[in-house]
Amino acid sequence: MSIQKMRAKLPVIIFAMLTLFWLSSTAHALEIYPSLIYRITTEKYKFSYSFFVKNDLPRNSRVTVEIIDLITDEGKFIFNAPDYPFTLKEYVTPSESEFILEPNEQREVTLNFNVPSSFPGGVGSFAVKLRQEGVSQGTVEVRLNYIIPFFIRLKQLPLNYSITVTEVKLQDLNEEKVEGYPDFGTLVRIKFKNNGNGVFIPTGTLDIHSKELKTSVYSHKIESLDLVVFPGKTSTLEFYTPYILPEGTLGFTLQARSFDVETFAQFTFSNNNVANYAVYQFLPDIVLITEKTKNNTFPVKVVNLSPKRAKISVEFNNNLVSVSPKSTTILPFKEYGFNIRTLEKDFDFIGDRLVFGKIFSEGGTEERVIRELMVILRGKVVNPSLDVRKLDKANMSTLRFENNGDCVLTIEILIRGQKVNDEEIVLIPQQVFEVTMDSIIPSSDIIIRFKPYGADKFIERGL
């Protein structure tokens, strides 16, 4: 399992620019702040804006500043577009085009704007390309390039959006696997075209509705820079939903705000994929019961991730846990709640005892769940223990974890002080789990934190 599989994918269009021109593996050679992407709103045609750069190399650096075009179209980057009407390249001048930075020296870079009142766009774009050359004794030892996008909202000019959809693709991950995504749900790709006069960078929601089932299926939250569509160009929004989208007519509703403009758009898509199966999810899928909480009742939900209506029941693998109600009819894309409690009264044992719940259909067939419902009965004493090994191979580091204690563990991975697993890693006793990084990570940069599931304090260790 790669580390990418454990976190959401970064916005493809803009963040790719920041690494597109790296020509060396040296990290943090030129520190750029306060931001790597700038969105500026102004009511002036003529103004200045500044940012800072700092040399993090242990040698002098020659830095050159160049103003370039910045456009994307169907996933392709365009850095030279002299005829594109919405670029600000010709109207931006840097205060300096070249300078020398000593180690740890910082410099303010000022951009001077002189935009004509006849500019056709409510939002214009360009980029600053910084070229850094680390020089030692007259020899260039390091050469790096950085692209810094700028989006300028010219408030004195009207901003009009006309957003259309040119293509919709739905990929059933239950049938076709895609690296970096779970093996259930749907991968949605929607290609948008911007027929307006400014860059479209929405923040809002995209809701999916089934016409035949007359129900809402999924609401996708669009964060800043998830989607960037340049005027006259197209861009694809890709997102994952755990739901199996139903056959028939799907309605999509986009409600978003880009800069100071609210946008509303609706479109439909005919889905011909037929799903003849159901997938369910428990929320939560882990319940911890201790001596202090053994008399409590614990609410759990079952979520139907499919368009199938079914009568189902929840059953456990032994009689230490009871459930109420035992069965129900669950509608497409809906959920139902039930309560569980333990029949165990004596918690004077060591370690965790695990009970697993499954879902069965009315005909007695075991239905697929994302993860079994796990009920942890925690004894008075637990002995957490974790074996961690690192293997470096093919320019990648793999961490192998084995829970050799007697309780369920929660694990966090820190690299250079930063937590890298956004999703919780949970291991039951004797379970082995591997995480593969994208590069070789020195052991000295890795800290592993683990604790008994539900405990407050982590145990921390290096490699």
pLDDT digits (tens, 9 = 90+) for 160-179: 999 999 999 999 998 889 98
Distance in angstroms between the alpha carbons of the first and the last residue of the chain: 20
Write down the mean pLDDT value for the chain.
90
Tell the CATH topology of 3-154.
Immunoglobulin-like (2.60.40)
| CA separation for the pair 302, 336 (Å, rounded) | 6
Q: What is the pLDDT of residues 47-69, one digit of tens each?
A: 999 999 999 888 899 999 999 99
Same fold? 3-154, 386-462: yes
pLDDT of residue 394: 84
Determine the pLDDT at residue 12.
36
* One-character DSSP codes across 343-412: ------SBSEEEEEEEEEETTSPBPEESS-EEEEEE-SB----EEEEEEEETTEEEEEEEE-SSS-EEEE
pLDDT for 143 equals 78
* Third-level CATH fold of 386-462: Immunoglobulin-like (2.60.40)
Does residue 24 register a pLDDT over 50? no
pLDDT confidence of residue 89: 97
Q: Alpha-carbon distance 162 to 381, whole Å?
A: 63
Pairing type for strands 409-415 and 446-452 reads antiparallel
Classified by CATH at the fold level, domain 279-378 comes out as Immunoglobulin-like (2.60.40)
Q: For the domain bounded by 163-271, which CATH number is listed? A: 2.60.40.10
Residue 10 has pLDDT above 60, yes or no: no
Share of the chain above pLDDT 90, in %: 78
Q: What ranges do the domains of the chain cover? A: 3-154, 163-271, 279-378, 386-462
H-helix or E-strand spanning residue 241: strand 234-241
Give the model's confidence band at 138: pLDDT under 50 very low, under 70 low, under 90 confident, else very high: low
> Which of 7-21, 168-182, 250-264, 425-439 is the least confident region?
7-21
Burial environment of residue 343 by CB neighbours within 10 A (0 to 12, 13 to 18, 19 or more): exposed
Q: How far apart are CA 293 and CA 340, in angstroms?
A: 12
Q: What is the pLDDT of residue 21?
A: 36
